[in-house]
Amino acid sequence: MVSRIDSVIGERTERRRATAVARVDPLLRDLRLDGFDLAVIGSLARREFKSHSDVDFLIRGRLDAQGRAKVERAVAAAMRGSGISYDLIYAADLTPERLEEFERDLDRAGQELGKIGSYLDSIRDSDRPVNEWARGSALALGVHNIYNGIEDVMLNLANDIDGYVPTGESAHQDLLDQMSAAIDGKRPALLSSELYGLLVELKGFRHIVRHRYGFDLDLSKVDENLARVRTAFPAFVEAVAALERLMTAEKKDGEEPSGSSRTP
């Protein structure tokens, strides 16, 4: 019985996927001929389309209200009657305000790193004996918080630029893998191989602090990861800044003096 149910679900999912492809392919062709830069992202593009999936469209370039309306009418007409929902994602909607949110997340992480430095200065200058467990606990929590800030920025980038945020048990590692890869037509790789390696180690340390805090806190590992975060954080800030500069330049290049869309 279970195998029969699985078979029925599989057949329905394949029919739904085939319907989505049959609607989407001519739509993309026609809109591209009209000068629009449209692509499918998400589960349909990844060949992971399920019975509950919708279709995610990414529209690149800068469009005025008339251009957006034309795209929206064309997509609505193509998908009408299919029983499949869809989302339109405009790459140009990554606004300066959204970029400021990234900067605030980074600023909070930077403040945490500053607090760590101030704390180390205070105990270095003190005549009192240092409680190593207290020192290790304070530093471990600081490293934990800094990695959280870095991960928050990566999650926002995954959502706003890539149009896909990993989920499931391996989501934290999958996010790092995603950020280390270039995505055609969207962005270059955010993380270099060196920065990726540092963040993998910091992610593992964050897991220990979060889930086994106080029991497996190896003080030598605390110092190792403090050194890692002091290298990784400024490198990550520069990587995000470089991506922002690239995307800002691309937006400016895509703007037309008249402010008109690329529609004929």
Q: Which long-range contacts (CB under 8 A, 24 or more apart) does 74-80 make?
A: 74/27, 74/30, 74/31, 75/27, 78/23, 78/24, 78/26, 78/27, 79/23, 79/55
pLDDT at 264 over 90: no
What is the set of domains in the chain, with CATH numbers? 2-93 (3.30.460), 96-253 (1.20.120.580)
Six-digit token string for 39: 């692509």
Q: Which long-range contacts (CB under 8 A, 24 or more apart) does 7-10 make?
A: 9/51
Q: Residue 9 in 3-state DSSP?
A: helix
Residue entry with tokens 């005549």: 127
Residue entry with tokens 């897991």: 207
pLDDT at 17 over 90: no
Q: Which helix (H) or strand (E) holds 192?
A: none
58-62, 93-97, 121-125, 235-239: least confidently modelled range: 93-97
Q: Give 144's contacts (C-beta < 8 A, 6+ positions apart).
A: 205, 206, 209, 210
pTM, full prediction: 0.56
| Most confident of the ranges 63-72, 73-82, 251-260 | 73-82
Sheet with 55-60: strands ordered across? 37-41, 55-60, 86-90
